[in-house]
Structure 1
Amino acid sequence: MPKFFVKRKTGLAAAISATLLLVGCSGSGEDPAPPPPEVTVSTPEIRSINDWDEYTGQFDAVEGVEVRARVSGYLRQAHFREGTLVRRGQLLFTIDPRPFEAEVARAQADLQATLTRRDLAIADLGRAEFLLKEEAISKEEYDSRVQARQESRASVAAAEATLRQAQLDLEFTRVTSPISGRVGSREVTRGNLVSGSGAQATLLTTVFSLDPIEFIFTADEAAYLKYRRQAREGTRPSSRDIANPVMLRLQDETEFVHSGEMSFVDNAIDTQTGTVEGRAIFSNPDGIFIPGMFGRLRLLGSGEYDAVLVPDTAILSDQSDKIVLIVDDENLVQQRVVELGPVLDDGMRVIRSGLAKDDRLVTGGLMRARPGNPVTIAGEEPPPEETAKRSADTAELAAAR
Structure 2
Amino acid sequence: MKHSRSVIASAFALTLAAILVGCGPQAPASAVPDAPHVTVSTPLKSTVSDWDTFTGRFDATDTVQVRSRVSGYLEKVAFQDGAIVRKGDLLFVIDSRSFQAAVTQAQGQLAQARSQLALAEQEYARAKTLIATKAIAQSLYDQRQQAREAARAQVLSAEGVLANARLDLEFTRITAPMSGRISRKLISEGNLVNGGSSNATLLTTIVSLDPIDIYFDIDEQSYLKYRQQASAGLVGSQVRIALPGQAQPSLAGRMDFIDNRLDPSTGTLRQRARVANPDFALSPGQFGRVQFSARPAYQALLVPDTAVGMDATRKVLHVLNVQNRVELRPVQLGKLHDGLREIVSGLQPEDRVIVDGLQRVRPGDTALAESHELTRVADTRQAGEAAL
TM-score category (smaller protein): 0.7 to 0.9
| Cα deviation digits, residues 189-217 of structure 1 (max 9, x gap) | 11111101422000111122223322222
Map 1:264-275 onto structure 2 (within 5 A): 264-275=257-268
Equivalent residue letter for 1:338: Q
Change (3 A) 1:293 1:119: same
More divergent stretch after superposition (325-334 vs 59-68): 325-334
* Counterparts of 1:318 and 1:137, CA distance in 2: 120
For residues 93-121 of structure 1, the C-alpha deviation after alignment (integer angstroms, 9 at most, x for no partner) is 11111111111111111111222222222
Contact 1:324-1:335 within 8 A present in 2 as well: yes
Shift of the alpha carbon at 1:69? 1.4
Q: CA deviation at 1:376?
A: 4.2
Corresponding position of 1:378: 369
1:88 Cα deviation from its structure 2 partner: 1.3
Say whether 1:365 aligns with 2:357: yes
- The Cα offsets for residues 243-279 of structure 1, whole Å up to 9 and x where unpaired, read as x152433x34444333444343333323333222333
Matches within 5 A, 1:219-298: 219-237=218-236, 239=237, 244-249=238-243, 251-298=244-291
CA contact (8 A) 1:262 1:280 kept: yes
Look up the SS of the partner of 2:359 in the other structure: coil
Tell me what 1:352 maps to: 344
Deviation at 1:295, TM superposition (A): 2.6
Distance 1:119 1:318, change over 3 A: farther
Return the letter of the residue paired with 1:5.
V
Match of residue 337, structure 2, among 339, 343, 349: 343
Give the conservation status (yes or no) of the 8 Å contact 1:341–1:350. Answer: yes
**Contact conserved, 2:242 with 2:288, CA < 8 A, in 1?**
yes
* 1:20 Cα deviation after fit: 7.8
Using the alignment, how far apart are the partners of 2:210 and 2:156 within structure 1? 44
Seen in structure 2, the aligned counterparts of structure 1 residues 11 and 227 have a Cα distance that, compared at 3 Å, is: same
Cα deviation for residue 33 of structure 1 reads 8.2
Give 1:173's aligned amino acid: T
Query: What is residue 184 of structure 2 aligned with on the other side?
Result: 185
Aligned to 1:119: 118
Contact 2:314 2:330 in 1 (8 A): no
Contact 2:326 2:361 in 1 (8 A): no
Q: Does 1:57 align with 2:43?
A: no
| 1:9 equivalenced with 2:3 (yes/no) | no
Alpha-carbon offset, residue 363 of structure 1: 2.6
Distance 1:354 1:140 in 2: 110
Q: Residues 204-243 of structure 1, C-alpha deviation per residue, up to 9 Å, x if partnerless?
A: 1112222332222222222222222221222212x2xxxx
Q: How does 1:1-400 map to 2 (within 5 A)?
A: 1-2=2-3, 4-14=6-16, 17=19, 39-237=38-236, 239=237, 244-249=238-243, 251-318=244-311, 321-327=314-320, 331=325, 333-344=327-338, 347-371=339-363, 373=364, 375-376=366-367, 378-382=369-373, 384=375
Distance 1:357 1:364, change over 3 A: same
Segment of structure 1 superposing worse, 58-67 or 269-278: 269-278
Distance 2:94 2:355 in 1: 75
Amino acid at match of 1:269: L
Deviation for aligned residue 1:307: 1.8
User: What is the deviation of 1:68?
Assistant: 0.8
Q: In 2, are the aligned partners of 1:39 and 1:375 still within 8 Å (CA)?
A: no
Tell me if the contact between 1:51 and 1:342 (Cα under 8 Å) persists in the aligned partners.
no
Does the 8 Å contact 2:44/2:374 carry over to 1?
A: yes
Contact 2:217/2:270 (8 A) holds in 1: yes
Contact 2:326 2:367 survives alignment (8 Å): no
Q: Cα gap change, 1:21/1:84 in structure 2, threshold over 3 Å: closer, same or farther? A: same
- Structure 1 window deviating more from structure 2 (301-310 vs 197-206): it is 301-310
| CA RMSD between the two structures | 3.3
Q: Which moved more, 1:100-109 or 1:310-319?
A: 310-319
Q: TM-score w.r.t. structure 1 length?
A: 0.81
- In the alignment, what sits opposite 2:386? none
How far the C-alpha of 1:12 sits from its partner, in A, is 4.7
Contact 1:312 1:348 in 2 (8 A): yes
Q: How far, CA to CA, are the matches of 1:270 and 1:108 in structure 2?
A: 58
Shift, 1:149, TM fit: 2.3
Residues 329 and 347 of structure 2 are in contact (CA less than 8 Å); yes or no, is this contact kept in structure 1? no
Separation in 2, partners of 1:289, 1:384: 33
The answer to whether the 8 Å contact 2:307/2:355 transfers is: yes
Aligned residues: 375
How many angstroms apart in 1 are the aligned matches of 2:138 and 2:346?
A: 105
CA distance in structure 2 between the partners assigned to 1:62 and 1:283 by the alignment: 11
Q: In structure 1, give the amino acid aligned to 2:234.
A: T
Spell out structure 1 runs of 4+ moving beyond 6 A.
Answer: 18-22, 29-36
What amino acid is aligned across from residue 92 of structure 1 in structure 2?
Answer: L
Unaligned runs of 5+ in 2: 384-388
Q: Match for 2:113: what amino acid?
A: T
* Structure 1: runs of 5 or more not aligned: 393-401
Residue 291 (structure 1) shift: 1.5
SS in structure 1 opposite 2:221? helix
